[in-house]
Structure 1
């Protein structure tokens, strides 16, 4: 590095490195790409908007090809993955994934850009996403304020969904719980929530975790939480990451009617997704729970291995969930 100020202060490999001068180097994630009026592969249109200036929250909006001027479509508010540390609503992998999902599901999608740790430790990401979710819900009201045309003209708020992958699935879960308690602008109700490869953890192993032969990957799961939320009350048993921790809000309060959870057999987080589904069922929640398990795949394969048969199949399952 040469200079003293570029000495490493701390790092969480293989994700991020923080230098003593305060700069952060992200070692994962895909490049930022511009929005596109017509994606050459799917025909989906996208554009970027500012939701709030303070705090700074933006989003990438998506509209399917051949949407008619008066056509109403389901609304999806999406939260990207990346361990709360990297990736973006504006990145290449997320944009390709969203173009595919929007094309198949025929939904208006709003992918929220939230601030990342370690510069902005949790719960800032969750607060940003809550503000973004409330902004989308506010587009349903006739309050005299200027509305975003794609959402206002084409959004069917009777078919309102949220979803996310990995860390974004953790966010989606927490948004559904909070919506169940606090409600959304305009009285909007969440019809369905999807969680793919959700990031949950706890101090005690679940399922077959102790039998897995991937100690480094298993050890990384709690390390990430400590890195992105060092002040978390209860540490790795904070209810935001351990939904059945002592004192956690009841999962019976999830503010949606349908829940889809997808796990990958080779993912170290697989047992957590199953555990979460079981906990929701046991909570007395009144909605419908569906679990999808995909053999022979690892974490976030449908995004990282975009275009493969299994990736296409999972995205089609998510699209079906959003369009049923």
Structure 2
């Protein structure tokens, strides 16, 4: 019989984690110029502000999260104004509307905007994968996706990246995502955990660090982790903004790559900055989650044709786009370091 106290504690911990993760970062004041000398000190150059949108509560945008929290962007002369969104579609609407400059989200949103005649492009990739795994109770009878016929499965939101990743896996196993299973909105964090624990869903698509936290409790296991390349988190922006702010975009990409280089060598160095995102997660669990993420971060931050083609394929199958959109029309990697 499950230890109800441990499950309750996990629900509370995950709930607190998401409240903490969705806060925006406060801008740090510029240091006062040093006094001294007969001449007045030179005026410090004002940092360049970039409004960045992302779906908070997970760590697929790991590199940028680290850079915001450890001051890397600030040291490079960028003031990052972070805005959290509950879904990628909401973030894209903010990008199109001009309330954010850069969005960190799935390549599928770039395709959809291109289909609508909007010139949104990819300038780099910081996570190659779906970023969600299907988690079930440890004692659940399911051992493979084929065992899930006639069950209810939860995704963060139908039509989201977690939904796309699940449907792609089911279809590869010959399971119709429309006829053989029921897919429901499960949210994230505590709401997803509750859906799985209560039996409302046989399993749910969960992202890091919640995945690592659930596994650490001993009550859950991963049934399916999408193994294919997928342009899950790209750096996207409108071309007119980039044309006016090329230096800022170059610096943003450069700092992300530098963070990746040092974090790949020393994952432990990312724990402290990521604690600011997830202060309710034990540091050992957070380190595990970081190590799980790093293999899917491209070394050069370049989106691959294979990763992009997988997204195109899924979007065609879902009817989100009606025809293939050329890779070179949606991607510009010339600003990468």
TM-score in same-fold range (> 0.5)? no
Report the TM-score, using the length of structure 2 for normalisation: 0.34
Bigger CA radius of gyration: 2
For CA contacts below 8 A with separation 6 or more, give which structure has more relative contact order.
Answer: 2
